Amino acid sequence: MYKGKRFLAIIPARGGSKGIPKKNIYKINGKPLIYYSIHEALKSNFLDRVIVSTDSEEIAQVSKFYGAEVPFIRPLELATDTSKTIDVLLHAIEQCGNKNDNYDYLVLLQPTQPLRKSFHIDKAIKKIVDCHQKSLVSVSKVKEHPILMRTISKEGFLENILNIDSTVRRQDFPDFYKVNGAIYINKIDDSFTSKTSLNDNNFPFIMDEKYDLDIDTFEDIEQFKLRS
């Protein structure tokens, strides 16, 4: 809880994965991937509850072992390749909410972002409450600047993706940020629906690039080993 507001953290972890089999419980440095998100979430000073939403009994057992709650098993229709994260979250909120246990904000922590720390979570929570915002998303400064990026037209010519003069000195490039997927926070009210686009949360929480790593391939795992 922070300033009277209650926060429900949801870590979504379905059993199926294509690039890395059983990715969410794949062991890295002796711990399953999901451990790193659970561990940091439980260290938070402000999260009131940390749950894992999964369709896998194996992931459920691993998550419980490391201290997260798994109060339900996610329905299979919410665990397909085409299932939307927002629907998974709405289902979890419905399962966790009752007259005696309501939450003001949802905090989405994707297990594929293992470098995110508890202090990031707490700073993000403080920022959204102190600034009276309804949604927040973590971002990192991009390394490859979009001012130098191009598309190729049907005629085979390069076209700028930004309407900015690319002759500007590199040190004068404006800052650009990307949604890094580490933290999403949304107020749980009537505006949080199946039409909500989490990546379009418009209040930024800036994280240093060194904490930005999304585990999707075995190469990403090697990067995590080097950076953790």
Q: Which of 1-5, 57-61, 95-99, 122-126 has the lowest mean pLDDT?
A: 95-99
Higher pLDDT, 181 or 166: 181
Tell me the mean pLDDT in the region 81-108.
85
CB neighbourhood size of 163 (10 A): 5
According to the model, what pLDDT value does residue 2 have? 95
Answer whether 55's CB lies under 8 Å from 77's CB: no
Q: Which residue has the higher pLDDT, 173 or 26?
A: 26
pLDDT of res. 60: 96
Q: Where are the domains of the chain?
A: 7-141+177-227
Average pLDDT, the chain: 91
Closest CA relative to residue 116, chosen from 189, 190, 35: 35
pLDDT digits 0-9 by tens, 13-60? 998 777 788 999 999 999 999 999 999 999 999 999 999 999 999 999
- Rounding to the nearest 10 degrees, give the CA dihedral for residues 16, 9, 78, 178: -70
Interatomic CA distance for residues 73 and 77, integer angstroms: 12
Q: What is the DSSP letter of 131?
A: T
* Mean pLDDT, residues 180-196 taken together: 94
Please state, in angstroms and rounded to a whole number, the distance separating the CA atoms of residues 149 and 135. Answer: 29
Which tokens sit at 83? 């299932």
What does the alpha-carbon distance between residue 180 and residue 209 come to, in Å, rounded to a whole number?
A: 9
Place of tokens 């922070």: 2
For residue 41, which of 30, 52, 28, 53 has the smallest C-alpha distance? Answer: 52
- Find, among 111, 114, 139, the residue nearest to 124 by Cα: 139
User: Is a pLDDT exceeding 60 seen at residue 99?
Assistant: no
Q: What is the pLDDT of residue 141?
A: 93
The predicted structure's pLDDT at residue 48: 95
- What's the predicted TM-score (pTM) here? 0.90
| pLDDT confidence of residue 88 | 93
7-141+177-227 topology per CATH: Spore Coat Polysaccharide Biosynthesis Protein SpsA; Chain A (3.90.550)
Note the pLDDT of residue 139.
97
Between 57-65 and 33-43, two packed helices, what is the crossing angle to 10 degrees?
40
pLDDT-based confidence at 175, cuts 50/70/90?
confident
Q: How far apart are CA 139 and CA 208, in angstroms?
A: 9
pLDDT score of 168 more than 80? no
Radius of gyration of the chain (CA): 19
- pLDDT of res. 170: 76
